[in-house]
Amino acid sequence: MSRFAAPIAEQIWDMKYRFKQADGAPIDGTVEDSWRRIARALASAEKRPQDWEETFFAALEDFKYLPAGRITAGAGTARSVTLFNCFVMGTIPDSMAGIFDMLKEAALTMQQGGGIGYDFSTIRPKGATVHGVAADASGPLSFMDVWDAMCRTIMSAGSRRGAMMATMRCDHPDIEDFIGAKADSARLRMFNLSVLVSDAFMEAVKAGGSWDLAFDGKVYRTVEARDLWNRIMRATYDYAEPGVIFIDRINQANNLNYIEEIAATNPCGEQPLPPYGACLLGSINLARLVSAPFEPGAHIDEEALDGLVATAVRMMDNVVDASRFPLPAQQEEARNKRRIGLGVTGLADALLMKGLRYGSEEAAAQTERWLHRIARAAYLASVELAKEKGAFPLFDAEKYLASGNMMQMDEDVRAAIRTHGIRNALLTSIAPTGTISLYAGNVSSGIEPVFAYAYTRKVLQKDGTRTEEEVVDYAVQMWRDLKGDADLPEHFVNAQTLDPQDHVRMQAAAQKWIDSSISKTINCPEDISFEAFKDVYMMAYETGCKGCTTYRPNEVTGSVLTVSETADVAPGEAPEQVRGTQEGAEVVYMSEPLDRPQALEGQTYKLKWPDSEHAIYLTINDIVVGGHRRPFEVFINSKNMEHYAWTVALTRMISAVFRRGGDVSFVVEELKAVFDPRGGAWVKGKYIPSILAAIGGVIERHMIAIGFLEGEGMGLKSDPQAKVVGLDAPRGKACPSCGQYSMMMVEGCMTCSNCGHSKCG
């Protein structure tokens, strides 16, 4: 029998984590082979590997412990990749040479598959004097554009998509430009942005005070704190960025605040890290650990949980020694502090199995109890490792016990650390688990609520056709298996039905026992008022969260609903009578292509695609047949010679189709459905999945202008730009990997529910 709980789980394993030869031939024959590969690789760091391989295998078996994707895919393959998920790079010097040294380091890190974070607050503001060159500074955003271009270059060279986080302090003179940067849909597409918000700023916001914007001791101007806060809130309300990081709270809670200061995070925000800081991630799958699910006695065996956590900590500590690092400074930082980030996934499913409603006070209390248990077990396991292998090199018992989260840790744990030391400076984090959660049978991601109980997924078959399969949440499928067709209980809730305050309550409950931070998205309804939206962030601050990420579906950010697959056709009316003609007109078919007249009327359109140096020009000429105007030929031109071959081919093919006559609106339909695996672009408030889709949109607008089509999406069998009409399943942006409209914000990261692709790697 297969170990996979759902077809999508096996597909994700085969696509993302199965070890294969360069030609695609499998090396891992089964998922057991993958578990064995990982267990053997991590046990090799032990003095007696044979004593630990079986223990590690047992933890991986049946998806109980889920190492992060880079470990699952890379451990034991001998490939030149890092097993660490994320890095915060070195402090950027305020000099041209230093800035470009940092750019080089970023490229080397990304080349090995690491996501990176940078604080751009250290670069002098735009217009500041640059001494010695008689010039004004171009400001940090101009250099962020350079980083953005580098990331696109690394991605286009064949590596996995790069993920970057840029932060800026709320008192930097260029903070307003930083806040509004994503209003330009073509700019900084490779970055997530977050504002570093200080406690002093939040107090000024609450008090209605003023706020100085300063750099290097010089105040450039003073603004009203509430005005700046409203500007941050308006941008994230409209564009879902920037996020907010409560940076003082992060530094205060850091176990290492006596030797490091944090000013940036990894791309998803769950790992605040010092310069050259690196972190590896893994998750305990709570959904697999519940006994007697949906029964009055449903519970997690806490002693078994302790044992699983202890094994996971040992495995993750071994990764520090087994992994490659892009830069020597990253290796030194990792081995001096041995930071790990053990978290959970399947929390919402586990709560459902216990009969608890996600977001309720009872669910928050249970979450806090589980995570307290995990934190205790992790710290005690790290103490045992310190007895055996030694404490992390920079350990100082007196300073460590007087810092950060250690101040609230249980006294018996503190006593053990005081006596024996501890192997890992920080141990817990809750990371995005979208792909590994699908791999584990579509368990709920991280500490997120269930996103959708079920949705339909289109699967590409070997013969090129697509079939549809239902993807069901793990807990919902278990309910079906145990209870048959019985209705889901009232405590079953999902991300779309929860109040934002429920999300915040759960994040705050989890944060209490998490060393680092939490990757979580607070879903807000589209019609939430701006004032209510701001209250979500203020609640997050007041309840102890270290950051806040929201997602409000709208025309700019994308929707999360379903689309209509067919155009409206009256009963008994043939589709051909609706599509491709003016109202009441007949479709004209031609057995042979028409000869081209000496002169034709037409229109030329300029198409400017983001990131492309040269515009594309489309000339569409028309012919009148039977009293009706219709497109006859297309010419596509660009100065960009990289476009030459495909623009000539497209010109000839589309023109040949148009000259045959008939209902040629399918040309629009086919072009608009083309996706670019490198990602599309936002153009005038709409997400366009590719430059070919943009061309299709231009042709469609021309057809509307001449009366060949009645309106956008009208007359097409399936319009990729159709408006949302239902609530049955997720609907989002087009996935840059598989092209399906299945992208949704999960744990602060755009993730595809169809193929598991994640913007954040």
Catalytic residues: 266, 268, 270
Q: What dihedral do alpha carbons 374, 377, 379, 384 form, nearest 10°? A: -160
Give the distance between the most distant pair of CA atoms in the chain.
94
- Which residue type sits at 69? G
Answer whether 38's CB lies under 8 Å from 60's CB: yes
β-strand pairing of 115-119 with 86-88: parallel
Q: Enter the DSSP assignment of 15.
A: I
**Alpha carbon distance 714, 478 (integer Å):** 42
Tell which residue, 264, 260, 242, 227, has the closest CA to residue 188.
Answer: 242
Answer whether 513's CB lies under 8 Å from 476's CB: no
Which structure tokens are listed for 574? 């043939």
Assess whether the previous peptide bond of 571 is cis (omega < 30° from 0).
no
- Which residue type sits at 602? G
**Alpha carbon distance 547, 464 (integer Å):** 44
**Alpha carbon distance 178, 25 (integer Å):** 46
Burial bucket for residue 453 (CB in 10 Å: 0-12, 13-18, 19+): middle
The residue written with tokens 């699967």 in the block is 459
DSSP, residue by residue, 458-499: EEE-TTS-EEEEEEE-HHHHHHHHHHTTPPPPTT---TTTS-
- Backbone phi and psi for residue 686, each to the nearest 5 degrees, phi listed first: -120, 145
137 Cα distance to chain centroid: 33
Tell which residue, 328, 344, 326, has the closest CA to residue 336.
Answer: 328
Helices and strands counted in the chain (H then E): 24, 30
Helix axes of 302-322 and 53-60: crossing angle, nearest 10 degrees? 120
The CA–CA distances, whole Å, from 472 to 438, 560, 729, 739 equal 10, 17, 11, 21
- Backbone phi and psi for residue 457, each to the nearest 5 degrees, phi listed first: -120, 135
**Alpha carbon distance 19, 65 (integer Å):** 19
The separation between the first and the last C-alpha atoms of the chain, rounded to the nearest angstrom, is 31
**Alpha carbon distance 640, 214 (integer Å):** 43
Beta bridge partners of 618: 605, 636
